[in-house]
Structures are given as C-alpha cells and as structure tokens.
Chains A and B, each alone.
Chain A
Amino acid sequence: MIAAEPLFRAEGLSKRYGGVIALDRADLEVRPGRIHAILGENGAGKSTLIKLMVGVVAPDEGRMTLEGREVAFARPAAATDAGVICIFQELSLIPDLSVADNIMISHPPTRFGMIDRPRQRRIAEEALERAGAGDIHPRALVKDLPLSRRQMVEIAKALARQPKILILDEATSALTASDVTKVFEVLKRLRTEGLALLYISHRMHEIAELADECTVFRNGRRIATFAAGTKTDAEVIELMIGREYKHAFPEKPGPKADGRPPALQCRSLGWADRLKDISFSLHAGEIIGLGGLDGQGQRELLLALFGVLRDCRGDILIDGNNVKIESPVAAKSERIGLALIPEDRKTEGLMLPMSVRDNLSAAAFDRFSRFGVIDRQRQSALIDEMIRLIEIKTASPDLAVSALSGGNQQKVVIAKWLMNKPRIILLNDPTRGIDVGTKQEIYRLLRRLADDGAAILLYSTDYDELIGCCDRVLVMYDGAIKRELVGTDITERALVSSALNVQDTEPAEASVP
C-alpha cells in the first residue's frame, strides 16, 4: 500500500501558546502521488501543524525534513520557495489586486525589472485553466468575485507556484457543488502527476472519495494513521472524539414548564444565503447551545438577533410579541433586553487601554446617568457590585483592562453586558482561549443567570461545553439548523456526526427537518 519514500517528514513537532499546548510531539509522513487526509475536531491541532509546515509559526520542538533534508521555514515565503504550499481557509488573496496579479504575487515574470504583464497573464490563464476555473477573467479584481470564485483563484495561485506538497485546509468549504467536482478532478490529476497532497476537511464523504490515507488528531496529538477505507465513519468519529470527558459543569435543573410565551422566538429567520429558515424558541431559565462546525452561520444568527444585519427575513418574537430589531441600540433597550457577548474580545468586546470601570460602563450609561450626566456615585456602586458578583480579579476598577489575564478580560466582557440586566443573553464562544478555572466560573455564572430567569443562547466550538452546559443544542450546518438535541441525547457522538452532517450509526434521534 505504501509505495514511495516520504517526501516530507515531521518528527516530534510541538507548539505551545502560553500555557496551552496546541501541538504535542506530532509525527507525520507525506508521500508523493498520494492524498493524505487529516481529521480532527476544532482545536485538535490540525491548523497548528499546517502553520508550522508553511512557516507561519516556528515549532518549539521537533524537526521537519523535505526530500531528506532538514528544513526550517522562517517565513511563508521560504516555505513557498521550497515547494510547500498551502491553500488557507482564511483567504490569502489581496482584494484590490487583479486575479492575475494575485496568482503571480510572489514571483511574477519580469522584464527590465518590471512585471511582464502579457506573460503574467498567460501564466495566470494557464493556472486558472488547470484549476478548472477558465471562466474567471484574469483582469477581474478579486474583491468583485464571489467567495466560491475566490477560492478557485486561491487554488490556481497555488498551482502556479509549482508545488511539491499542496496543503488544502478546508479548501472546499466555500465552493459550490459543481466547483467541488472540478477541484476533485484537478486533485486526482495532480496525484497522478506525483504531487503530495494534504487534505483537511470536515466532510467525510469528500475524504472517502479522495484520500489514500488518513491521520486523526485529537488534543494536539496524532492519534492514528490508517489507509483510507479501512475504518467506518463511526470508527473515525470515535477516534476523533476519544473517550475523555470532563466533569466541570454545574447541575442542570431540567426544564420548567410555566406556560409563559418564550422569551425569544424565531420564525423562519433568514439573511442573504448565510441563514436559512431558522426557527426555534428560547424560554426564560433555559440555556440553549448552538453547535456545529465553525462558520456554519452561528455567528450570523447571533448578529441577526442583535440587529447588526440588515434585510433579515422572517420574524423575531420577544415574550410573544413580534418585534423589529434594527440596531444594537434597539436590541439592548429595556423593551427587548438583549445582550450579545462577542467572540473576539480584543476588538468587539473591550476597549483594551481603558479602565475596567470605563469598560463596564460602556453599554450601561443609561442606568446611572440623568439627562446625559453621569452619576459617579451610582456608577461606582453598580460597578463594585458587579466586580464582586462576577469575581473579576483586578486590583482596582481603574486598572486598564489590557493588564488583566485573558480569563478576567472575558469576565469583564460578560459583566459589561450584565450591567444592563439583560433578559436574553447571546454568547459567542465565550470560553475560547481561557483557562479551565475561569471556564468553570463562567459555566456556574451562566447557570446562575438562567436560574434567575435569563434566557441564554450559547454558541460554542467546544463540544464538552455544549454537553455540560446546555439544556438543548441546535446543531447548525450550512446556515440552517440541522438537528435539535435535548437532554441526554446531547452526546459527543451525536454532536460530531450531526455537525459533519453524516448519519449516526445509532438509532435515529429526534431530528429537526
């Protein structure tokens, strides 16, 4: 089965970010003329491995060899020159340049020191043709192309660089079905041409169609490598999720039926082609989880509820009354009482150089000002109370938020919105990148808020969190709710398989059409 010598070999690669081990002594062998699939959950270490391979970050330990020679890439440009080329999930195209400029960005053909545009254009056209995207005009600006076309340009750009190893990181997630077919033909042709391909995808059927061998990562470690087709989907998912469970979650009180209308209800909510026919109700005292892979519309759903997106379809009902939420200001008004705790605390949640006091006040000035004048005493009282309640560890409310630890910063973000006493709290992955201790405090806080009558919608990329924290979980795929899991049906297996949109081998559970 294993024919050629490895083209690329990684041995004992490790990478830490602060206290978090992203990759733990990982090994990998990549052979020419084969497609090697990499599988793993969100945060299993796949992206870190690739970033090491293409020189975006440097490993803490371990070595890499390419064609028998040891390599260390200081910059992406160095990896590109050596023939290790990655098509990134987050696009690396430059919006204001033309397609041809983008394809030949690093090594354009030159004449007298200037870019030889006719030749560049010919090469770009060839590359687009090879990628099966001959319909894209080489002079079009990248920013004018739709996402799926941009992804094809990205593939053409990689091909024009004469890769030895081509890494595709979720490269098909933005593509239309007909593009996927074309790309697969291209990849299979490249395989026969002797390229080594590393294919990262969450789509099991794609891996079944393409891969020669598979490697599974979990918690930063390589778990297994096996020839494709020797394991069932269920066995692969088993490998991905492992058997580790954590008991860090507060008790769930179980559903309380009180006959009141739901605090928040959506009917056929839609936005552009990113949200499709979303319907659910959220009751006071309930924590609903949003699951699924990254980027399946969860973020958009939260933004739509919070009044950031324009031209949404469908209805939103608060306490049974139909409302139009047209801006974050309207969303947080007393009538509606929404709060959105954003994902990227550094840009959307906090003003880092400003003090804890100012950050906590930012969304709640109405609560302690009269006719636009801030009542300092009342402000201080409310802030001290909140700092105690949430247990923010800060020497003084006047300390800059940037001086706090990541976990405490996240608490400030949450506290900032609690100042408003919201009745419906939307959270966008609130525990990403913070330590376990703070995570547990946040879980307890969420449950306490729910017990006090708040309705909570929690998007999380951490399956444990969804299982441990939520009364119900809505799993999203491609902008729609694919499945609703309730109570004990919320298992890692059910979450992963519905997130991947594959059939679970266990008896079918309650599913939402």
Chain B
Amino acid sequence: MTEWRYWFSEQRGTLLAIGIFVAMFLIYATNHPAGFSVNMVQTAANKATLLAFVAMAQAIVVITAGIDLSVGMILTLTNCLASWIVVGTATETALGVIGVLGAGLLCGMINGAVVIFGRLQPIVTTIATGAMYYGVALFLRPNPGGSVNETLADALTGRLFGVLPTSLMALAVTALVIWVPYSRSVVGRAAFATGSSEVAAYMSGAPIRAAKFTAYTLAGLLSAIGGLFLTFFSYTGEAAYASGNAYTLFSIAAVVLGGVSLMGGRGSAIGAIFGALAFRTIGDLLFVFDFDPLWQPLFQGLVLMLAVSIGAFGLVRVRNRLEWFG
C-alpha cells in the first residue's frame, strides 16, 4: 500500500502527462469523422514523433537544471546532413545513419563541454551553438533538396505487422535503450541530483561534470534521431530556420506539459514524450472541432498555461514569502 503511494508520488508528473494525453486523444478519436482507425493513429504518430524525440532531448538537459536551446537546430542540421549521406546501398545507408547520429553526438558534446569547462550559462551557450549548427546546416543545404534511402524511410514511417506505426515503435525502443538505462545509472542519478541541488550533489561527491556532459551529449544524439526521422518523412533536407526554432520552443512546452520541473531534479523523458504527444494533439483537436487552424497557437498557449498553473498551486501554501523566489 505505502509502496504504491511512494511510486505514485515519484511518477506523478509523468502520470499526469499520460492522463492529459489519453484524455485529449480519446476526445480526438471519438470525434474523428473517419472514426478510430489504424490510419488515423499512424498519421497522428508520425506527426508527433519528431517533437517527442526533441522533447526527450530537452527533458534530459532540463533535469540537470540546464536548458538546451540548440535542439531544434541540431535537428535541422542532422536533417540536412542525412539528405546527403543516408543514401545508396544498404551499407552506405547504414554508414550514413551512423554518421548522422555521430554528428548529433558531437553537437551535444560541444554544448556539454562549453557549459562545463567554459562555465557559461546553458541558455547563452546553446543559443550560440544553435546558431552555429544552423550555419552549418545552411552551408550543407543552401536550398531545400537532397534525398534519402526511400526503402528505409518507408519502413520506418510505415506500419509494423500492418497495425503498429513504426515511428512509434522507434520512439519506444529509443526510450527503452537510452532513457531507461540512463535514468538508472550512477551518472543519470547524479544528473537528477545536480538539478535538484548542485551544492548538495557536490558535497556528496556525486559526479556532476560527467552527469552534465552525458546529458548534453544524449540530447544531441536524440535530436539527431529526430533529424533522421524528419528526413524519412520529408525525403529531403531543408535548412528551415523557423521550423528549427519552433521545435526548440515546443520541446520546452512539451517538457513542461510532461511534468519535468524547469528548476531541475524532477521529471522523466517518458513524461516529456507524452507531453509532446499531448501538445501535438491540440492541433488535431482543433481540426476535428472545425476550428480555423489559425487558432492553434492560441490554444497551445492556453493549454500550456493551464499545465504550468497546476504546478504552481504549491506556492499558495508557502509561509515564508522568500520561498516564492527560491
């Protein structure tokens, strides 16, 4: 009984995100003109997957009480790179995929190294590196174009056994292979500790630097996976500035919806995934209720504001007003 209570208290943010998503998706599915169908799920999944990958990346950094404003630009950069190198024979394609993921890793490592050794604030660092990554993307693809191995692209954006959307499977596998071991490793826990109280983590001898470095590096890798999938969906590479920035901002929104504390130390990438899915569903909801798509930003903002307010209820009970600012 008490075990359950502790488990629930640990997972509250994530469960809330799952709840919000399930509720929104049910409303969407039941009101969909074509009814609940495999096709509908696949379309929804493909739309949400990209943001989900970037949100996972953002969550891992935010847990350390940092922020990564370059995730969208890493996505754009890796998209442009993939449109050059993920082509040709199976072997060439495989090497290309490795190259794209490696580029993402490298971007993340640069972020991590600058934040740790340059002792710069993450927000400034990643604005600067983000601009640099976009510069490289623009160099790779001054004009939209390129191509991708279409067999692989279709396989990863289609359906598995005719029912399950492959993109969703890829998302689940990524969470299982990257997030689960990371969150249970010594470094991962040090990341939570750093985000919760860096001084206490230092005094306790937790590996703070390794934790931050790993967090930024993984964020780069996850953004690159997002970039790969963007290429698989679009078959081209495009250095699109606005869409890169939108991914960055939406990733922060998704993270907040997913119950990850922007103060650090609390939350999970699973929550962020559901936060991303819920955020994307807002647009779909407007569609089924025949709202003008122009309403979308307004409603996304409202939902986000509502979700953040839920988290602020605790402040009402604070008895020392100085804690408001803590």
The reply to whether B189 and A106 form a contact with Cβ atoms under 8 Å apart is no
CB distance from B9 to the nearest CB of A (A): 7
Contacts of A101 in B (CB 8 A): 189, 193
Contacts of B293 in A (CB 8 A): none
Contacts of A384 in B (CB 8 A): none
Task: State A144–B10 Cα separation when bound (angstroms).
Answer: 12
CB<8 Å pairs between A and B, sample of 28: A56-B203, A75-B205, A81-B205, A91-B200, A92-B200, A93-B197, A94-B193, A94-B196, A94-B197, A94-B201, A95-B196, A95-B200, A96-B261, A96-B265, A97-B192, A98-B6, A101-B193, A108-B186, A110-B185, A113-B181, A115-B184, A115-B185, A157-B204, A303-B320, A303-B322, A308-B321, A309-B321, A327-B321
The reply to whether A95 and B6 form a contact with Cβ atoms under 8 Å apart is no
New contact pairs (4) apart from A95-B200, A98-B10, A105-B204, CB-CB < 8 Å: A56-B203, A97-B189, A303-B320, A308-B322
Q: Which 6 A-B pairs have the closest CB atoms?
A: A77-B205, A96-B265, A139-B6, A96-B196, A92-B203, A106-B205
Total A-B pairs in contact (CB under 8 Å)?
98
Contacts of A141 in B (CB 8 A): 9-10
Q: Who on chain A is nearest to B264 by CB?
A: A96
The reply to whether A94 and B200 form a contact with Cβ atoms under 8 Å apart is yes
CB distance from B175 to the nearest CB of A (A): 15
Q: Is B290 an interface residue (CB 8 A)?
A: no
The reply to whether B203 and A76 form a contact with Cβ atoms under 8 Å apart is yes
Task: State A303–B181 Cα separation when bound (angstroms).
Answer: 46
How many residues of A are counted as interface, with CB atoms below 8 angstroms from the partner's CB atoms? 39
Q: Majority SS of interface residues in chain A?
A: loop
Q: Which of B279-321 contact A (CB under 8 A)?
A: 318-321
**Which of B2, B184, B204, B318 sits near A114, CB closer than 8 Å?**
B184
The reply to whether B181 and A310 form a contact with Cβ atoms under 8 Å apart is no
CB distance from B214 to the nearest CB of A (A): 12
The reply to whether B195 and A310 form a contact with Cβ atoms under 8 Å apart is no
Q: Who on chain B is nearest to A310 by CB?
A: B319
Task: State A157–B318 Cα separation when bound (angstroms).
Answer: 29
Contacts of A105 in B (CB 8 A): 189-190, 193, 201, 204-206
The reply to whether B203 and A309 form a contact with Cβ atoms under 8 Å apart is no
- Known contacts being A56-B203, A115-B186, is A311 close to B319, with CB within 8 Å? yes
Q: Who on chain B is nearest to A106 by CB?
A: B205
Q: Is B141 an interface residue (CB 8 A)?
A: no
1/0 per residue, CB under 8 A from A, across B170-192: the answer is: 00000000000100111001101
Q: Who on chain B is nearest to A139 by CB?
A: B6
Q: Is A177 an interface residue (CB 8 A)?
A: no
The reply to whether A272 and B319 form a contact with Cβ atoms under 8 Å apart is yes
Q: Is A362 an interface residue (CB 8 A)?
A: no
Contacts of A182 in B (CB 8 A): none
**Which of A94, A96, A139, A272 sits near B204, CB closer than 8 Å?**
A94
Contacts of B6 in A (CB 8 A): 98, 137, 139-140
Q: Who on chain B is nearest to A93 by CB?
A: B200
Contacts of A93 in B (CB 8 A): 197, 200, 204
Contacts of A108 in B (CB 8 A): 186, 189
1/0 per residue, CB under 8 A from B, across A98-141: the answer is: 10011001101010011101000000000000000000010111
Task: State A105–B181 Cα separation when bound (angstroms).
Answer: 17
Q: Who on chain B is nearest to A115 by CB?
A: B184
The reply to whether B203 and A117 form a contact with Cβ atoms under 8 Å apart is no
Task: State A97–B321 Cα separation when bound (angstroms).
Answer: 25
Q: Is B266 an interface residue (CB 8 A)?
A: yes
The reply to whether B321 and A95 form a contact with Cβ atoms under 8 Å apart is no
Query: Which of A92, A140, A271, A272 has the most chain B CB atoms inside 10 A of its CB?
Result: A92
